[in-house]
């Protein structure tokens, strides 16, 4: 039996039946990490002893015949922007190289309560800023499907860990596509919940109005199962929504006949790889065969999404990262002689080039004389983008688009041109600006054997329809 490619249901079932112990399952994944991750670079910290202790506790429950929690014995791993009590938490930055989190993020504590076994912390672009996972201060992550290529970013370690068989599922964060784009590049499933559906408490903030926590898994149903566990109101996050959490996994397998699917013209314009377009069209043909109605729609302000995103996101990053100053929990410059010099040297030495670039951009658009011209205007256009989606969703149940313009690109291919790198997110940033749920799932491979992705976006808090449709897309050829 290959324990490296199990789904959540399969892993939990084996533990529940005592066919495989949680300890054996955990050891198998730890052994694979030790054997293969030197080539991939997905992990920054492996928590071997705590994982084995948790597995032993699950085994004791199973031996007594007690009912097991929903993720009992399932090996998972966490993007290193999620606080994990007593574990090194770096956000992929030298600034937090030695920081040990004093508490758990809400999503992490809910996984723990559900019986999941955390194997460690996953590599990411520094402070979640990047589209290729080449901005990590420690090492780049390589795509398990082709190690000469990027896994996507910023949750590249989270996507690579699932694709490489290091964990059954992972948690990532998505500010402009950072779950969905790596999922597409690595050939796994990545879910963006509605803004407010999953608590951000304990997530190291990049851009507070855009950040989402979500799962990366092997199947759509696994994403649904994980979302059931982590979703829901949290009193410690004032932006989390008090909206009932549906039985998302029950949506997988429901009939999709009669659903109206919108295809936005703006997402299928020049610049989209022909093989991705063809792969999506094949899935649309299959959905027609299942009784879905496919209609052309327009999201007319789409062309402004990238500039709006890189104003709003950098402005919020500039404010959020002001707390990293060398005073308390971050690394401190050793040779500073004054307080001002300590701030300046600590930030200069602690932050990488991409983080500095975004802080400077954000500080500029928030500065006196430029706030109205840039930040205020971007927020006004953000409202227009939101209205575009509201109008479309009066006529359709979901929208289908590409995830990325191309398949995974080569390591180093875009690092010299920030604008070209930013355009990697052209199909994903709008969902974050608008706050709607979405999912990326595989829809085939190109002639080089690289995974291709398809994106489904839904109405606010209608993850049920997104997952229902995604499961249908996953099943059809």
The token duo for 424 is 């990697």
Comparing CA positions, the residue from 211, 148, 145 lying closest to residue 178 is: 211
What 3-state class would DSSP assign to 311?
helix
**Catalytic site residue 178?**
yes
What would the DSSP string read from start to end of 226-254? HHHHHBS--TT-TTS---PPP-HHHHTT-
Neighbours of 308 (CB within 10 A): 22
Alpha carbon distance 290, 472 (integer Å): 9
The catalytic position among 21, 109, 178, 318 is 178
Alpha carbon distance 370, 376 (integer Å): 9
The catalytic position among 118, 131, 132, 154 is 154
What 3-state class would DSSP assign to 309?
helix
Alpha helices (H) in 260-324, listed in sequence order = 274-289, 305-320
Collect all residues with Cβ–Cβ distance below 8 Å to 82 and sequence separation of at least 6. Answer: 89, 105, 107, 108, 121, 171, 173, 202, 203, 204, 213
Alpha carbon distance 457, 35 (integer Å): 37
User: What does the CA dihedral 20, 21, 23, 24 come to, rounded to 10 degrees?
Assistant: -20
Please say whether the dihedral angle defined by the alpha carbons of residues 374, 377, 379 and 381, taken in this order, is positive or negative. Answer: negative
User: 117 with 74: CB under 8 angstroms?
Assistant: yes
The catalytic position among 21, 54, 79, 459 is 79
Report how far Cα 82 is from the mean position of its chain's Cα atoms.
Answer: 12
**Catalytic site residue 154?**
yes
Provide the annotated active-site residues.
Answer: 79, 154, 178
């Amino acid at each position: 039996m290959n324990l490296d490619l199990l789904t959540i249901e399969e892993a939990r079932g084996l533990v529940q039946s005592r066919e495989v112990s949680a300890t054996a399952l955990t050891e198998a994944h730890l052994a694979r990490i030790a054997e293969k991750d030197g080539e991939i670079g997905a992990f920054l910290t492996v928590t071997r002893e705590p994982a084995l202790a948790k597995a032993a506790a699950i085994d004791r429950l199973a031996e007594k015949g007690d009912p097991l929690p929903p993720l009992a014995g399932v090996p998972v791993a966490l993007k290193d922007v999620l606080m994990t009590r007593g574990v090194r938490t770096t956000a992929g930055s030298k600034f937090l190289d030695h920081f040990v989190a004093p508490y758990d993020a809400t999503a992490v504590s809910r996984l723990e309560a559900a019986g999941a076994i955390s194997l460690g912390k996953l590599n990411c672009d520094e402070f979640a800023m990047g589209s290729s996972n080449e901005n990590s201060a420690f090492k780049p992550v390589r795509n398990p499907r082709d190690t000469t290529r990027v896994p996507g970013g910023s949750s590249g370690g989270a996507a690579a860990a699932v694709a490489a068989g290091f964990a059954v599922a992972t948690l990532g964060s998505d500010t402009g596509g950072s779950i969905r784009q790596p999922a597409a590049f690595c050939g796994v499933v990545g879910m963006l919940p509605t803004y407010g559906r999953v608590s951000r408490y304990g997530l190291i903030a990049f851009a507070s109005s855009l950040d989402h926590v979500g799962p990366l898994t092997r199947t759509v149903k696994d994403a649904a199962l994980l979302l059931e566990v982590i979703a829901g109101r949290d009193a410690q996050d004032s932006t989390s929504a008090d909206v009932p959490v549906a039985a998302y996994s029950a949506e997988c397998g429901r009939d999709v006949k009669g659903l109206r699917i919108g295809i936005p013209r703006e997402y299928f314009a020049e610049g989209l790889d022909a093989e991705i377009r063809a792969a999506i069209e094949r899935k649309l043909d299959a959905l027609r065969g299942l009784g879905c109605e496919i209609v052309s729609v327009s999201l007319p302000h789409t062309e402004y999404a990238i500039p709006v995103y890189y104003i709003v996101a950098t402005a919020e990053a500039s404010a959020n990262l002001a707390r990293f100053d060398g005073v308390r929990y971050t690394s401190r410059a050793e040779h500073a002689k004054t307080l001002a010099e300590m701030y300046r040297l600590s930030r200069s030495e602690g932050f990488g080039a991409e983080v500095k670039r975004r802080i400077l951009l954000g500080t500029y658009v928030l500065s006196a004389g430029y706030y109205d011209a840039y930040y205020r205007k971007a927020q006004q256009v953000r409202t227009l983008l939101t209205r575009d989606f509201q109008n479309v969703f009066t006529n359709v149940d979901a929208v289908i688009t590409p995830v990325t313009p191309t398949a995974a690109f080569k390591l180093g291919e875009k690092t010299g041109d920030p604008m070209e790198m930013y355009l990697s997110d052209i199909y994903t940033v709008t969902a974050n600006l608008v706050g709607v749920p979405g999912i990326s799932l595989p829809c085939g491979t190109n002639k080089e054997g690289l995974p291709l992705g398809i994106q489904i976006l839904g109405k606010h808090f209608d993850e049920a329809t997104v997952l229902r449709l995604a499961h249908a897309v996953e099943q059809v050829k």
